[in-house]
Amino acid sequence: MDIKVRNLSKKDYKDLKNSMTEAYQGLGDVWTKENIVDLVDIFPDGQIAVEVDGKVVACALSILLDSQKTNIYDKYYAIIDDGTFEKHDNEGDTLYGIEVFVHPEFRSLRLGRRLYDARKELCEAMNLQRIIAGGRIPNYHNYADSMTPRTYIEKVKRKEIYDPTLTFQLSNDFHVKKILKNYLPEDSESMEVATLLEWNNIYYEPLSKSFSASKQTIRLGLVQWQMRSFKDLQEFYDQVEFFVDTVSDYNTDFIMFPEFFNTPLMSPYNELPERLAMEKLAEHTKEIIERIQQFAVSYNVNIIAGSMPIMERGKLYNISYLCHRNGSLDSYKKIHITPNEFKYYGLVGGSEVKVFDTDCGKVGLLICYDVEFPEVSRILADQGMQILFVPYMTDTQNGYIRVRSCAQARAIENECYVAIAGSVGNLPRVNNMDIQYSQSAVFTPSDFAFPNNAIKAEATPNTEMVLIADVDLSALKDLHEYGTVKILQDRRKDLYSVNLLK
């Protein structure tokens, strides 16, 4: 499955019409081709589509309004001028949402959330004051005989009643600004009542305008995973999804699990020699990664799936997967194998060093021991890496300090962010995985734009928890140009160099 959030084009009308017809069966007319052509012409950035495997299955349409010139409390057809969109104002301060729909067959993918997030990012990038939209309350007809719209809305807010539209909008940080009567005359489910919803842009600067759509603040979510026994694979999946669900609720861009976080599944093979037990664990890897890919798409978050074993051509590797939220997949094989990994499991090292392009910049992946070799990180930095992710597994504090200290050094010398995530607890029925020591953290370069100790955030040691931290990519750009020291620029390449040999 390939998922893309992009601007709508005029060529998408056939897909759009089909999806909207399925989404709004029996509720009004679909947008005409002339409507869509007009919207794309007057405000192309405001027309957002979600494409799944080459077809548009969800869409959000918007115009710009000047809140000083337009009555935002007006009825829907007055706002859109019956489809002529004459109130659109390129100098407006308000993004007015005139449509959001998702094809019914794709609603389990939470595509509506992606559309709302894209609108918020557009609002911030254009330095608009707010997003305004009229919202249906399609479940109200079941309660209209016993309560007023106001009472119904208050009960939905308190989660005493579920409304498929309003509950979703409230969960996406919109608040009800006003109740609108006779908003959509054909909407019998909502009893012609709607809510005027508002999302305020806290970054709005009244005297500033910007049309840059690049995202600069990236939110990281690190899972400090408690090793525990699972009765079966489904229970393992339930635990993984619990963390994905929890962390994605904070609107994170990345979630990272630790190295070998799936080793509790080795428990049934504990009587086998270590190598054979690891090979048995590797048999689950394909299925596990497919499930985590589904989580990445459904919860709209990029997932670094820790690491797990994989067998290829008779060789056993330690591999990490980057599951993109658009459905694509990248992987990295651990290059440097520890003496114990070789002794007990016969693991071999990978041979590829590269950065990965994501919707939040260029990222690198290293696994545990790899971060103790500075040459690899330097090669990634030369390829444009902005964030380095390091899932790790350490049994003692000594091992942890090696990983932590080297990770901090990599952040400073490569002028990037480094995030590390490990496991805690114990596994009494899994040989060589019996105890864990961890303190997950996010490290920064060391200069005035960053924390004085170059630590953005760190978890409580040896406690299962999640760590949420924001990192600013624009601060890295400033550091490269105006830093107190310029490590990447000041290297003496006339004396030494680090090259990737092929």
Active-site annotation, residues: 259, 334, 368
Q: How many CB atoms lie within 10 A of CB 484?
A: 9
Query: In terms of DSSP H, where are the helices of 69-216?
Result: 76-79, 111-125, 149-157, 166-171
Question: Could you give the C-alpha distances from 301 to 102, 360, 386, 471, 490, in angstroms and in order?
Answer: 19, 11, 18, 16, 36
Burial pattern 366-399, b for ≥16 Cβ within 10 A else e, equals bbbbbbbeeebbbbbbbeebbbbbbbbbbbeeeb
| Cα gap 233→284, rounded to integer Å | 9
Where do we find the tokens 């591999």?
319
Question: Could you give the C-alpha distances from 473 to 253, 255, 407, 461, in angstroms and in order?
Answer: 13, 17, 18, 27
Exposure on the CB side of residue 446, measured as CA atoms within 13 A = 10
Structure tokens at 96: 């007015």
What phi and psi, each to the nearest 5 degrees, are found at residue 107? -70, -25
Instruction: Write out the H or E segment, with its range, that includes residue 344.
Output: helix 339-345
